[in-house]
Amino acid sequence: MRKLTLLTAFLVIGPVHAEVSFDRLVNAGKDKDSWLTYSGTYNSERFSPLAEINTSNASDLKTIWAYQMQPSTYTGAGLVETTPLVADGTMYITEPPSTVTALDARTGKRLWTWSPEMPEEVLNIGFPKVNRGVALLGDAVYVGTLDAHLVSLDAATGALRWDVEVADNAAGFSLTLAPLALEGKIIVGVSGAEAGVRGFVDAYDSATGERLWRFNTIPAPGEPGSETWQGEAWQTGGGSTWLTGSYDPDLDLLYWTVGNPAPDWNGDVRPGDNLYSCSLIALDPNSGELRWYFQFTPHDTHDWDANQIPVLVDAEFDGKNRKIVALANRNAFFYLLDRETGEFLHGNEYSKQTWASGLDEAGRPILLPGMDPTYEGNLVWPSLQGATNWFSPSYNPQTEQFFVATRLMGSVYYKADVEYEEGMPFLGGGEQALSGDDAAGAIRALDVLTGKQQWEFMLHSPPWAGVMATAGGLVFGGSNEGNVFALDASSGEALWDFQTGGAVRTNPMSFAVDGKQRVVLTGGSTMYVFGLE
């Protein structure tokens, strides 16, 4: 338990009423007015079924209200990357690095706010001081903190219910993701691979904070997958799990993505495929038992982790109805897998890459020679930030279109010698990314079943913001230059844009209040809520 916790609660318009049952989360796609979990639904489509804002009126969008993130008392507070949740007229957001705030969804008026008191020496090796959001379950709000705690708050008042330490921050562990709420459980993963941690996925009892199970993403000797490591390299193997997963309630399977092996860039000290790094793992949510895995980038030496959102798709594939998981990977390939078995169904390049000639029949990359980092430096596409990154793709089930914010950038990769020291960077090299005219970005629309590009909307620089499709035929996104925009989903034509004045680093979301649709994006430290009136 944390020794000191600072609680501040501002009740300004009366009590907040929130009750989000597991059944409500399962049926979140039918709850059009709300946004109940990080990616909108357990399928992680980041798709809004609202259609009041559409291709015929998007140009009339205006700012309804805006919220300025509050200056943190914590030194070095980081970037804003939160996805707001909305339930029963209340919006729940996080402010960097680990503050939770409840707002009136109609006006943006602050109802309460809570911040943990953290030591100034909190470690965040290899990632910014961010928090990507909360989870809702029952009448509670759940948040992970930069110093690796998981916290439960009363949704009505912000009062602390419980606070558990997930891992030792002094060793490099942190929580920067939005938790995922299941029935009676809160699921979290950890950041910290660049400190040489051994990653894991945890489940906690939602009522008490008791840890129910842990799945270690780097297997110990004798465990399945341990043959892909040699010597003691598994103990500092990385495999952090810092992005929210997806869930299939019918199969009762949890899907979570795993980050890079450690150290980055120098694979000599960790021979083998290095499971389960750079993989999608399917877990039994009741026991944490591994059902199947698929590794996208075996023995990764470019920091192309698999921490991207797995999107669950039900569609006809090769003449058969299939339960599919689609993922646009950081390594520049788009994948379709059978989500019951993990079988590789399809893969294709969706962005420029120079490290593989393609994928074999099992989905394993066919490596080109001489593409590993060198002491002198080696130019490879994509950059270590990848063809995409943590920010969310979107899937429109009505049109079977998959939308992804794409980074068009290469890097000169360098290799270096490395020694492990707890709590210090565990990096086997580095990179010098191309910039200026040698780098760009795009929003790309893909046919979800073939991966074939349908259109692209070019951006001046590689993006750090995700996308959201809507039933109104739109795709919302944002750019580093501060523009938020709405595109025609059928053509990619820009229909509306707004200059926020700050770089956009969030994923769009949408909700409705009093029957009026709202769209939310953040520029800099200001969150904007847009609507027609």
- What amino acid positions are annotated as catalytic residues? 303
Contact 42, 312 (CB under 8 A): yes
* Class of residue 284 by CB neighbours under 10 A (exposed 0-12, middle 13-18, buried 19+): middle
Torsion angle of C-alpha atoms 108, 110, 112, 113, degrees rounded to 10: 90
Q: Taking the CB of residue 210, how many other CB atoms lie within 10 A of it?
A: 11
Tell me the C-alpha distance between 284 and 289, whole Å.
5
State how far the alpha carbon of 215 is from the alpha carbons of 218, 267, 272, 437, in Å: 9, 24, 21, 43
CB within 8 Å of 154: residues ≥ 6 apart: 139, 140, 141, 160, 161
Q: Taking the CB of residue 358, how many other CB atoms lie within 10 A of it?
A: 11
**Residue 326: half-sphere exposure toward Cβ, Cα within 13 Å:** 30
Residue 226 dihedral angles phi and psi, to the nearest 5°: -65, -20
Beta pairing, strands 290-295 & 7-8: unpaired
Q: For 311-410, where are the E strands, in sequence order? A: 311-317, 320-328, 333-338, 344-349, 356-359, 365-367, 378-380, 394-396, 401-408
